[in-house]
Amino acid sequence: MFTTFNRGSNARASSQVLGNLLALCMAFVVGNSWAFSLDDVASKAEKLAAAPYQAPQSNLPSVFRQMAFGDYQQLRFNDEKSYWRDAETPFELRFYHQGMHFDVPVKINEVTATSVNEIRYDPEMFDFGNLDIDPAALQNLGFAGFKVLYPLNKKDKQDELMSLLGASYFRVVGKGQVYGLSARGLAIDTALPKGEEFPRFTEFWVERPQADRGNLLIYALLDSPRSTGAYRMEVTPGKDAIVDVQAKVFLREPVEKLGIAPLTSMYLFGANQPSEQLNYRPQLHDSEGLAIHAGNGEWIWRPLNNPKRLAVSSYGVENPKGFGLLQRTRDFGRYEDLDDRYELRPSGWIEPKGDWGKGRVELVEIPTPDETNDNIVAYWVPEKAPAPGEAMEFGYRLHFSIDEPALHDPKLAWVKQTRLSAGDVKQSNLIRQPDGSTALIVDFVGPNLAKLAADAPVTTQVSIDDNAELVENNLRHNPVNKGWRLTLRLRVKDPARPVELRAALVDGETTLSETWSYQIPVHD
């Protein structure tokens, strides 16, 4: 028996059946799909915040914990064991062995399209040099951290792109750069008398990228006695390395100072603070100044110091557009260091996403006798920290760059250098005679200044606190760099107190430059 269908009805019926079948298939796929996200880590962080803090336990044999730095350097990862070495991706992972103060393991997981699997420690991954090590005693030891490799400079050569080792520290470089300053996940009570708390990343999830993907996703769980947090870091290599950060932070207990997007660097000496000892290197620093782009549009530049005493500077800023620790000097001749190549160390620039509200950018400068100590810290402090258990969400883009003008407003001039000198006066016989004053020479440069005639009506706005007397404010055109040079001479009243100065270039009511903000530190 045959049934005859109207052709139009048959088409509609077939279409309906096909639509129902597709809907069922989509429902099955959605119901059985798997994906890893920041929310997965945030749920762990929120549960941790609701529970008492449990300090991490070290499982490290004493021979590793007590080793000297030279011995720790012998613990080398076997390149042949690089994770993803034979995978269809340009990225590779290599791991740090525990040793010295890196004596607590972190858990590292690989995220694929279908699962999460822990990357297991194996002594065979490492070359222990001439150290007498029993591999049997190292089973299930765990890693101290890891590094990410990528062909940054040559297509056929893997370079270090990112390193994650110790607390919540991480460093990143772009093409042609070398490691310098570090970023951190969070800073708590920095520079307070009761001591700083260092949150640490305790677990990582690294997403295996597809062959055609140009960036890498890393998730991290943060923990400390008074805080927890979930972080998503999207790392994009290139001329400048970019890290897009999303975070959810929870507090177990109230904190006095919460530092968001902290950067840590080193400043030993430079043009504004020459070395007290004879040194063939004129400057030695990973960063030379703090830059701030305030929510009201003002740009601020604060040259760094290596003070005699701990110094904290605060800049009230609502909804900051950016801040960072910059290495503006890129001339090798200003460093003359063939080993450490300070002119190739990147600046770190934080670009907030969304409105961060009221708060302040804080700069901490710590005395250091040598370049082995990171003595500079900068971060954002919200006016109000979250209540315990309450989620604080924020995002920002972190630039690692050696192209400082690209980070700046091209319509405004910026400070090229700040130089310190003994003040003097030129006598009638043309001999310069020191007069007991202190001189600061500030060079402003920029495309807007280069367009001005040498006799343009450029003037200065200068302010100085009550601990100094200004005896000279001189501005002149600089034909060498097409900018303007400001010379300030002042007499410090009390050397046991710092002196705060500010200066900017103007043309009538028009602001021509960023604001130079400087502190003459305390002298014993």
Number of domains comprising the chain: 2
Q: Do β-strands 200-207 and 107-111 pair in parallel, antiparallel, or remain unpaired?
A: parallel
- Does 12 map to a domain? no
Q: Is 336 left (phi over 0), alpha (psi -120 to 50) or beta?
A: left
Distance of alpha carbon 181 from alpha carbon 326, whole angstroms: 9
Predicted confidence (pLDDT) per residue in 385-418, tens digit:
999 999 999 999 999 999 999 999 999 999 999 9
At 16 the pLDDT is: 54
| 359 and 213 within one domain | yes
| 384 and 313 within one domain | yes
- Does 19 map to a domain? no
Domain ranges, residue 489: 414-520
Identify the domain boundary among 370, 387, 407: 407
Distance of alpha carbon 149 from alpha carbon 105, whole angstroms: 21
At 212 the pLDDT is: 87
At 348 the pLDDT is: 98
Distance of alpha carbon 422 from alpha carbon 439, whole angstroms: 6
At 34 the pLDDT is: 58
| 375 and 263 within one domain | yes
Distance of alpha carbon 181 from alpha carbon 345, whole angstroms: 8
At 432 the pLDDT is: 81
| Residue 159 near residue 152 (C-beta atoms within 8 A) | yes
| 61 and 195 within one domain | yes
Question: Which residues of the chain, if any, have pLDDT below 50?
Answer: 1-15, 17-18, 21-33
Identify the domain boundary among 355, 384, 407: 407
At 14 the pLDDT is: 47
Bridge partner list, 174 = none
- Read off the CATH number of the domain in which 479 is found: 2.60.40.10
| 140 and 45 within one domain | yes
| 337 and 455 within one domain | no
Closest-CA residue to 480 (of 404, 416, 409): 416
Identify the domain boundary among 382, 407, 432: 407
Amino acid identity for residue 495 in this structure: P
Long-range CB contacts for residues 461-464, cutoff 8 Å, separation at least 24: 461/502, 461/503, 461/504, 461/505, 461/506, 462/488, 462/501, 462/502, 462/503, 463/501, 463/502, 463/503, 464/490, 464/499, 464/500, 464/501, 464/502
- Does 219 map to a domain? yes
| 447 and 391 within one domain | no
- Please measure the distance between the N-terminal and C-terminal CA atoms of the chain and give it in whole angstroms: 110
- Read off the CATH number of the domain in which 390 is found: 2.70.98.10
- Does 144 map to a domain? yes
Predicted confidence (pLDDT) per residue in 56-92, tens digit:
999 888 888 888 888 888 899 999 999 999 999 999 9
Predicted confidence (pLDDT) per residue in 208-231, tens digit:
998 888 999 999 999 999 999 999
- Return the SS3 of 475: strand
- Does 238 map to a domain? yes
CB-based contacts of 174, cutoff 8 Å, min separation 6: 152, 237, 238, 239, 240, 241, 346, 400, 401, 402
Distance of alpha carbon 464 from alpha carbon 300, whole angstroms: 16
- Does 212 map to a domain? yes
Long-range CB contacts for residues 368-373, cutoff 8 Å, separation at least 24: 368/266, 368/268, 368/306, 370/268, 371/266, 371/268, 371/284, 371/340, 373/266
| 477 and 362 within one domain | no
| 432 and 448 within one domain | yes
Distance of alpha carbon 244 from alpha carbon 406, whole angstroms: 18
Q: Can you read off the two tokens belonging to residue 205?
A: 């999830």
| 256 and 107 within one domain | yes
- Does 321 map to a domain? yes
At 372 the pLDDT is: 93
| Residue 394 near residue 248 (C-beta atoms within 8 A) | no
| 466 and 376 within one domain | no
Predicted confidence (pLDDT) per residue in 176-206, tens digit:
999 999 999 999 999 999 999 999 999 999 9
At 1 the pLDDT is: 32
Distance of alpha carbon 223 from alpha carbon 197, whole angstroms: 11
- Does 10 map to a domain? no
| 191 and 45 within one domain | yes
